[in-house]
Amino acid sequence: MIVDADALRMISEMENWSAMLSPGSILTPHPGEMAALTGLSKDEIQKDRSGVASRFAKTWNVVVILKGAFTVVAAPDGRCAIEPFATPALARAGTGDVLAGTVGGYLAQGVESWQAAVLGAYAHGRAGELAASEAGAPDSVLAGDVARCLAKSIAELRGNL
């Protein structure tokens, strides 16, 4: 299960919400949503993104994809990856949906949650860079542009380009 966007804010209001999630669940918060889930301030989260993501992945027993510049992917077993992308092209409405769909696509192919999260976040970040390059500027990118660039990003990831 992937929990994103308003669903994150909804579950944050439920008592003992993390116990209701199935094993292998993935949460995809941006810092504001992570603040709602944890009770921490956005500043506290931003000061220690990998530490916060790792701590709560373990506490909640889920994979956490903490979105933002250099997206952090943390697993409950302590694995943590920092994606090498920091493009404002991904700070657009709908790009989080593209991320969730990308990760979901890997899950649907039988890829385990941690790997699906790392691969999906990487492919998504690279697609954002490609979309910005094609558009000529990151502020011209729409979520559909990122989705359109996923095929090229995934081909690069597979070494087919």
pLDDT for 161 equals: 62
Average pLDDT over the chain, rounded to an integer: 96
Identity of residue 30 = H
Query: Domains along the chain?
Result: 2-158 (3.40.1190.20)
Collapsing DSSP states into helix, strand and coil, what is residue 74? strand
pLDDT for 150 equals: 98
Measured at the CA of 48, the angle between CA 45 and CA 54, to 5 degrees, comes to: 90
Give yes or no for a contact between 120 and 107, defined as CB atoms under 8 angstroms apart.
Answer: no
- Mean pLDDT over residues 91-111, rounded? 96
| Structure confidence by residue, pLDDT tens digits, 31-54 | 999 999 999 999 999 999 999 999
Which pTM does this prediction carry? 0.96
The answer to whether residue 143 scores a pLDDT higher than 70 is yes
Helical H segments across 1-142, by residue range: 6-12, 31-38, 42-47, 49-60, 95-108, 113-135
Q: How remote is the C-alpha of 144 from its chain's centroid?
A: 17
| Structure confidence by residue, pLDDT tens digits, 64-77 | 999 999 999 999 99
